[in-house]
Chain A
Amino acid sequence: MAEKVLMKGNEALAEAAIQCGCKHYFGYPITPQTEIAAYMSKRLPKEGGVFLQAESEVAAINMVLGATAAGVRSMTSSSSPGVSLKSEGVSYIAGSDLPALIINVQRGGPGLGGIQPSQSDYWQATKALGHGDFQMFVLAPSTIQEMVDFVPLAFEVGEKYRVPSMILSDGMLGQMMEPVEFPEKKDTAIAEKPWATNGHQNKRPKNIVNSLYIEPEVLENLVKERYERYEKIKAEEQRAEEFMTEDAEIVIVAFGASSRVARSAIKTAREEGIKVGMVRPITLWPFPEKAIEKTIPTAKKYLCVEMNMGQMVDDVRLVVNGRKPVEFFGRTGGVIPTPAEVLDQIRALAGKEM
């Protein structure tokens, strides 16, 4: 086993990307994700890759589009306001059926907002990062180890289904250090890309990357075909962690940074005899409906804990579908909830009903 090292989340994620064969990075600095770009600028040239600080976020995402169209693993990273700028390019990538990795190290919003950690881009990541009918494969790490482990996963799933992938992180995970272990180096099997525009050498018909379709019927058929792939992703790629849910009467649903806070509160509540557990969505899209469904028989109440005003709670309510009450607790604007605050919510729910 490799030695555990202490690394900042942002740097660990960047190293993981390099180790799984991503040699093309295009970005623009913004707090609290700048360490990703800085790390790439130091390491990629030595790895025979390309680091390019673009003139803007819009330029960076379009460079990613170009690189991924040519068949190489390519990524960009930013924080909330910068990710909004990328939305047009992300929609073009989705409309061109290309994989690509986009990192969002979230900060408070809307507007320039603040620079402290937030989860208020959940809706943007899972519903509409850009115009048109499309989805991204969205992963939510909660530890630095997951910041590492989810990078190859995001590339592999994105390439398998030809969809853009996002790792939805936040300022806390980006800035903090934790012990992390990198997987043993192996030759990464990057999927065949027969669609890549990498030179036909007169041996095959030319490939075209395009997202413009003037004929409505043609476009409709294309979108429908894409949605068939989305259905496969929903069936096969849902991921969630179930924590103390076997007998849970109160089921917390939380992802990323807020799931860490919730976990501390759950441990204390368990010591007090409260039957509480957590479903932690790892994939935000596809939303882990199956994991939530499994908790329905024991659950009396759900509590969604987020660092926003209540976004993922909509998806939890869609799954629970009125069968049980779904409550919400959140802090926003860059404020991280404390375990004590979440514990108070759990106690109140337990007192109200049990």
Chain B
Amino acid sequence: MSKTLNVLLAGFGGQGILFAGKTIAYSGLMDNKEISWLPSYGPEMRGGTCNCSVVISEESIGSPLVTQPDVLIAMNLPSLDKFVDAVVPGGTILVDSSMISKKVERTDVNVYYIDATKIADERGLKGCAIIILVGKMFKEVGFCTKEALDKGIQKVIPAKKAAMLGLNQEALKIGMES
């Protein structure tokens, strides 16, 4: 990983975009990295598109708004169309191919298609599709140590929702193995 990793997660409200962003952010924090997390906010969140910028860095973070992502996680077609050209050359795009049938035309980026929503539904992990993609991102980009990721997912799930921890850990594992 270079000094700074800019991550953009985008999809519909309700797909866990902000939660997945927090998972990545907390994992980076467990490695004692500098972190920022910036959500889109306002009416666009209510059923519309939702996105979240996460920066993990060795040094203090300037703008927390990611305009040229190193990694894009796209959970629906409007999000992919909107941000595909913004990804830096050599960057990584993770696509939920259950939601997006279109293929990325660019050849200067690494693209991974995961049938995340379908896999999640089949395995009883409804709502965890994006965490499968976070697992895949961990495997391909290595944004933190494995230990930090394990701690990060524990940190981000509040005590009263402890039942969700196992499901999310399972989803991460599926992503890392796919």
Question: CB within 8 Å of B: which of A218-232?
Answer: none
A330 near B: Cβ within 8 Å?
Answer: no
Q: Which among A178, A261, A263, A267 is the interface contact of B35 at CB below 8 angstroms?
A: A178
Cβ–Cβ contact B36 & A178, under 8 A: yes
Q: Interface 1/0s, chain B 48-87, versus A by CB < 8 A?
A: 0000000000001111110110000000000000000000
Q: Which residues on B sit within 8 Å (CB–CB) of A261?
A: 62-63
Q: Interface 1/0s, chain A 105-131, versus B by CB < 8 A?
A: 000000000011000000000000000
Cβ–Cβ contact B65 & A179, under 8 A: no
Q: Which among B35, B42, B63, B65 is the interface contact of A6 at CB below 8 angstroms?
A: B35
Count of B interface residues, CB-CB < 8 Å? 20
B94 near A: Cβ within 8 Å?
Answer: no
Looking at the assembled complex, report how far the CB atom of B24 sits from the nearest CB atom of chain A, in whole angstroms.
Answer: 11
Q: Which residues on A sit within 8 Å (CB–CB) of B36?
A: 176-178
Q: Which residues on B sit within 8 Å (CB–CB) of A179?
A: 29, 34-35
Considering the chains assembled together, what is the distance between the CA atoms of A263 and B63 in angstroms?
Answer: 8
Count of A interface residues, CB-CB < 8 Å? 24
Name the residue of chain A whose CB is nearest to the CB of B33: A179
Q: Which residues on A sit within 8 Å (CB–CB) of B131?
A: none
Q: Which residues on A sit within 8 Å (CB–CB) of B64?
A: 172, 176, 178, 260
Cβ–Cβ contact B41 & A264, under 8 A: no
Cβ–Cβ contact B61 & A260, under 8 A: yes
Considering the chains assembled together, what is the distance between the CA atoms of A261 and B25 in angstroms?
Answer: 20
Considering the chains assembled together, what is the distance between the CA atoms of A171 and B65 in angstroms?
Answer: 12
Considering the chains assembled together, what is the distance between the CA atoms of A276 and B31 in angstroms?
Answer: 32
A339 near B: Cβ within 8 Å?
Answer: yes
A87 near B: Cβ within 8 Å?
Answer: no
Looking at the assembled complex, report how far the CB atom of B174 sits from the nearest CB atom of chain A, in whole angstroms.
Answer: 25
Considering the chains assembled together, what is the distance between the CA atoms of A5 and B65 in angstroms?
Answer: 20
Cβ–Cβ contact A339 & B63, under 8 A: yes
Binding site for A on B (CB under 8 A): 22, 25-26, 29, 34-39, 41-42, 60-65, 67-68
Binding site for B on A (CB under 8 A): 4, 6, 31-32, 115-116, 171-172, 175-179, 260-265, 267, 336, 338-340
Question: A176-B37, A261-B63, A340-B68 provided; 15 other pairs, C-beta below 8 A?
Answer: A4-B29, A6-B37, A32-B41, A32-B42, A172-B64, A175-B38, A177-B36, A177-B37, A178-B64, A260-B63, A260-B64, A262-B62, A264-B62, A339-B63, A340-B67
